[in-house]
Structure 1
Amino acid sequence: MDASADKNSNRSATAVQQPEVVEAIDIMRIMSAIPHRYPFLMIDRMVDITLGQSAVGLKNVTINEPFFAGHFPSQPVMPGVLIVEAMAQTAATLVVLTLGEAFEGKLVYFMTIEGAKFRRPVGPGDQLRIHVEKERARANVWRFKGIARVDGVSVAEATFSAMIMG
């Protein structure tokens, strides 16, 4: 047997399968994955998706957001809890994309939110880049670390777990 053929067969037998990467999904695909709708849909697009591992959600914050009417009319600030919700929706969409069509539209419930920190206000004209990374998954419970940034600067972070309802 040829030595180079033997090396190639060993290499392919021991090759590690790389996670599937999805470049981006639009709002219509997000809406097919999770049940959230206006005024509570907190992500507009997702990019840099590595199934089963991580994703980046995008939220274009505009003055037309309904929460700005009361938070605060003279100096609009996106509520921190809604930034954490945007993290959760990014993670929920990643979970559904990872698990497949059978899980589309299923409810994903928060179980824990830990270490939430809010570092600076988010307002009209900002684009949130919400990076979520899976820390672990057991059965239907997933745990994530989320960091939201505006212009590369961290504005919020949290660790959270959620359960997908089958």
Structure 2
Amino acid sequence: MSAAPPAPVGTRAPVSPVAAEVRVQARTEDGLAATARVEIRADEPVFAGHYPDFPIFPGVCVLECVQRAATDGDAAPDPTELAAVESARFAGAVYPGDTLSLTLKWRRTDAGLRCDAVATTERGKAASVRLRYESTGGRR
């Protein structure tokens, strides 16, 4: 078995606490809105230590799902880099077996791009998140 080649100097391989795949479902033609889904399976590694007798998907993992959807090549309006989590409000728990539905809306600002996102489950709103991004250059 051979080891994976090292990442080029100056780059880092992506690291995520979330094993689930974030799937962008749709994107508007102007690129300023998108929807995504994440199936939260019971075998997510974070459930092992996060309330083992009553597992809850951690809020930071909900943020990670939003970030991954926002920077997916099919969702972001421009190549972007996260500059700040401006706000995150958690409204409901996410449990094993839930489907996390994400709605993302982008707007251009003087500083770059802002992404407002809402995460919901079958029971209703789980979180609302505002992320600020800086353009890495090049428009699609």
TM-score normalised according to structure 1 size: 0.64
Aligned to 1:145: 116
Further displaced range: 129-138 or 68-77: 129-138
How far does the alpha carbon of each residue in 1:75-118 deviate from its partner, in whole angstroms, 9 at most, with x for none?
111111111121111111112xx44xxx5xxxx53222223111
**Equivalent of 2:35, from 56, 61, 80?**
56
Q: CA RMSD in A?
A: 2.4
| Aligned counterparts of 1:43 and 1:144: Cα–Cα separation in 2 | 20
Aligned position for 2:25: 47
> Runs of 5+ in structure 1 lacking a partner?
1-34
Alignment identity in percent? 26
Number of aligned residue pairs = 122
Q: Which runs of 5+ in 2 are unaligned?
A: 1-12
For 1:17-96, what aligned pairs fall within 5 Å after superposition?
A: 36=14, 40=18, 43-51=21-29, 52-93=31-72, 94-95=75-76
Does 1:159 pair with 2:130?
yes
Alpha-carbon distance change, 67 to 133 in structure 1, aligned in 2, over 3 angstroms? same
Higher helix proportion (structure 1 or 2): 1
Cα distance in 1 between the residues matched to 2:106 and 2:22: 21
Contact between 1:44 and 1:58, CA under 8 Å: does it hold in 2?
yes
Q: Aligned equivalents of 1:43 and 1:114: distance in 2? A: 24
Cα deviation 1:7-48 (Å, max 9, x = unaligned):
xxxxxxxxxxxxxxxxxxxxxxxxxxxx74665455431112
SS of structure 2 residue aligned to 1:57: strand
Matches within 5 A, 1:87-106: 87-93=66-72, 94-95=75-76, 98-99=77-78
Q: Which has the larger radius of gyration?
A: 1
1:7 maps to what in 2?
none
Q: 1:39 to 1:82 in 2, by over 3 A?
A: closer
